[in-house]
Amino acid sequence: MKFGSLTGKVVAVGTAALMIFGHEVSAHGDEASVYEAIQDQLVGKQIFFGDLHNHTGYSPDGSGTPKMAYESAKMNGLDFIAITEHSEGLNLIANEEEGVNTPLPYRTEWEDIQYQADQISDESFTAIRGFEWSDPYQGHFNVWFSKHYTDVFRSPGTPSMKPFWNWFQTDTSLLGGSDGIGGFNHPGREPGKLDELAYVPEVDNRVISIEVFNREDIYDSTYVEALDNGWHVGAIGVSDHHGEIWGDPTFARTGIIATENSHEDVRAALEKHHVYATQDSNYQMVFTGNGQMMGAELTNEQPVELNVMGHDPDQGETIVKAELVTNGGKVVETYEPANPHQTFEWSTTTPETTESAWYFVRVTQTDGEMIYSSPIWVNR
């Protein structure tokens, strides 16, 4: 694989200095080589784009129906979408005015969301049912793929989230949510900040994400806080859409690295944190540590080899910088291309340290849009 000129930049890291090397692509052929390298890193997987947080008229502050939402998202080019209604009214009957056509005497809104998802899902599109647990003090939390749901009346969040966590761990035979996975929504918008993002080890393996982008807001500091607290969460971008243009390409979204576009593979990718948050609708990113995909937990006494590759299919959309972020939100290294192109590759190693650490990559484009990888955890 050939690249253009190899350039370096010295960046201070504490009292040390590291030489960061980045491949500067100087011709279309080299850009194609990096793009091909991204495909090689995927090893039979693909990048799918979708939105995991959306509402319709089944939420009191939304409009339209799940059927409309799924169809709009598919028409606008999303590979997957989740409808995550506020759960307080999901036991209401889905009526004819909301566009329901059911062979049954009736269907609840919760049942209809799944019914409509089943009708439209195919090999090219995955429609997901979820719900948003919403507490005015603690904040909001999405759950996907669960048979049952709960709400703030049955699982209140004030003064603590313990009732919700209890439901999340309760077996489905007892109407619990032990079959679902979930994530923190716009963390810090409400004063309780989801129990200040206090770590709950019993559910860590099923709390799989945190919203870095929600609408126009960026939750960089709470992403860092959750990781520092011990949570193993991946970065996602969502629209939290309440209108009727689901899948609009101007909305933030999530990139998922998966073998196929299916419920099983999308869930597996989320659980492995093979995901990234992007404000750019089609930005492709691969971040690895010792050859393992973002989301990996590595145990290494020696520095870990990190590699990040990015590609934007749109002409003229280049990056200003890529930053390697670690514990406490510290930027340990920065890569700034001397001659920006749509494609870049950056290879480096983790700093010498005796302590465990997490690392994610934050990319800034020339138009101001940003992309956040999920972390790689390095245990010492």
Is there a contact between 320 and 366 (Cβ–Cβ < 8 Å)?
A: yes
pLDDT in tens, the chain (380 residues): 222 222 334 333 332 333 333 444 433 346 667 667 777 778 789 999 999 999 999 999 999 999 999 999 999 999 999 999 999 999 998 864 455 555 556 789 999 999 999 999 999 999 999 999 999 999 999 999 999 999 999 999 989 999 999 999 999 999 999 999 999 999 999 999 999 999 999 999 999 999 999 999 999 999 999 999 999 999 999 999 999 999 999 999 999 999 999 999 999 999 999 999 999 999 999 999 999 999 999 998 899 999 999 999 999 899 999 999 999 999 999 999 988 889 999 999 999 988 999 999 999 999 999 999 999 999 98
Domains and CATH numbers, the chain: 6-43+295-379 (2.60.40.1930), 46-273 (3.20.20.140)
Which pLDDT does position 202 carry in this prediction? 98
User: What's the rounded Cα separation, in Å, for the pair 92 and 110?
Assistant: 8
Residues across the chain: 380
Which pLDDT does position 300 carry in this prediction? 87
Structure tokens at 376: 């790689």
**282 Cβ contact list (under 8 Å, min separation 6):** 49, 312, 313, 314
Which pLDDT does position 365 carry in this prediction? 97
User: What's the rounded Cα separation, in Å, for the pair 124 and 265?
Assistant: 13
Which pLDDT does position 31 carry in this prediction? 65
Structure tokens at 327: 């514990």
Sign of CA dihedral 61, 212, 308, 207: negative
Is there a contact between 50 and 256 (Cβ–Cβ < 8 Å)?
A: yes
Closest CA to 136 of 149, 153, 148, 118: 153
Burial 122-147 (b: 16+ CB within 10 A, else e): eeebbbbbbbbbbbeebbbbbbbbbe
| DSSP-derived 3-state class of residue 254 | strand
Amino acid at 358: W
Closest CA to 303 of 62, 18, 11, 1: 18
Closest CA to 23 of 38, 45, 35, 8: 8
Which pLDDT does position 94 carry in this prediction? 85
Whether the bond into 159 is cis, omega within 30 of 0: yes
